Amino acid sequence: MHIHCLINGEPGDTLAISDRGLHYGDGLFETLAVRDGVCEFWDRHMQRLHAGCERLCIAPPEFAQLAAEARQLTHSIERGVLKIIVTRGSGGRGYRVPDTAHPTRILLRSDWPTYPRDNAEQGVRVRLCTQRLGTNPTLAGLKHLNRLEQVLARLEWDDPTIAEGLLQDHTGHVIEGTFTNVFLVQHGKIVTPALDRCGVAGIMRAVVMELATAAGIDCTERAVTLDELVAAEELFLTNSLIGIWPIQELEHWQGRATPGYGYGPGPVTRSLQTALQCLK
C-alpha cells in the first residue's frame, strides 16, 4: 500500500468528528516543500510549530517522532508537499478544553503543485482583494487553522491569469497575499509588512530577510501603504512552495487607476532568487 497520510502515526485518512480542529480550528499547520526526500527548512518549520503550540497552550508534538513519520512519507519522493497539522485533539463540550485532550498530529503528503514555470521567471499578475484581515495581535504571525479570511478572499476571483490576491488590514495597510507574504523594493532596499497585528509569519519570508541581510541589502519590517506598493521599484511574493515570485502586474482595483506597468523581475528580486537557489 502506498501510504500518503498518517494520523497519530497510523496510516489512514479519517479523523474523529469530535476533533477540535474541525469544530474550532483549534490547531496549527505547516506546509513543507519536499525535494529528493528532504523536507526543506525542516528546523524552521518545527520551530514555528513549537512556538505556535506554546502560544495556543497545545502540548507540542514529540519532534523526533514527527521527523520519523515525515521521513516515512517523504523519503522516496523526488518532489512533493508535506502538510503537517497539529490540533488540540478531541472533545470538550463547548470551548472548554478537557483535561484529557491529547493533540492530534496529521501528516499528509501530496503532489507538487503544477505552477507555471513563468511565475518564477517572468512574474505573476496580482489583484487587491476587497476582503480585509482582522486585527488580532494574539494570533498574528501564527499559522493556525482558522483561514476563513483567505478562503473568502480566494472566492473573489477565478481568472486563472491572476496568481494571487493581496490583503489589507482594516486600516488599509497591505499585509500579505492569500497564501504568500509580500515584499517591496524601495531605493534598492527591502521592506515587508510588519505582522504584529495580523498575517502569517512565513518561513520563506524569514529566509528571504536573512538572505537579503547577508547580501548587504537593508531589510525592514514595518507598516506598508497601498501607495507605497504601487510606487515600489520591485515587488515579490514568497512562500515555502513557490520560493520567490516576482509581481509583474497589479490588476485594476476599486476605482484606483490601473497602474498598467510591468514591474518585471527586477535586479534585487533576481539576486534573491539566485541566493535562494544556492541555499537549496
Ligand X SMILES: Cc1ncc(COP(=O)(O)O)c(C=O)c1O
Q: Which positions from 22 to 51 touch ligand X by CB under 6 A, shown as an x/- string? A: ---------x--------------------
Rg (CA), the chain: 19
Stretch in the footprint of ligand X (CB under 6 A) among 156-164, 198-206, 244-252, 261-269? 198-206
**Crossing angle (nearest 10°) for helices 203-214 and 42-56:** 130
Counting runs of H as helices and runs of E as strands, what totals does the chain give?
A: 8, 14
The span of 7-15, 93-101, 154-162, 200-208 binding ligand X (CB under 6 A) equals 200-208
Residues 127-156 touching ligand X, rule: CB under 6 A, are 150
CA distances from 37 to 15, 77, 176 (A): 27, 5, 30
Closest by Cα among 129, 133, 247, 245 to 194: 133
Using CB under 6 A, which of 109, 205, 246, 253 touches ligand X?
205
* Short-list 165, 216, 226, CA closest to 190: 216
249 carries an active-site annotation: no
Using the rule CB under 6 A, is 240 a contact of ligand X?
yes
Phi/psi-derived region of residue 255, left when phi > 0, alpha when psi is between -120 and 50, beta in every other case: left
Residue range at the interface with ligand X (CB under 6 A); choices 12-20, 66-74, 201-209, 269-277: 201-209
Active site residue: 69, 164, 176, 234, which one? 176
For residue 219, give the C-alpha cell: 531589510
Size of the site for ligand X (CB under 6 A): 14
Residue nearest to ligand X (CB): 202
Instruction: Supply the minimum distance, in Å, between the C-beta of residue 230 and ligand X.
Output: 21
Annotated active-site residue 143? The verdict is yes
Work out whether strand 219-222 and strand 189-193 pair parallel, antiparallel, or are unpaired: parallel
Task: Supply the residues annotated as catalytic.
Answer: 31, 143, 176
List residues near ligand X by CB under 6 A.
31, 150, 176, 179-181, 200, 202-205, 238-240
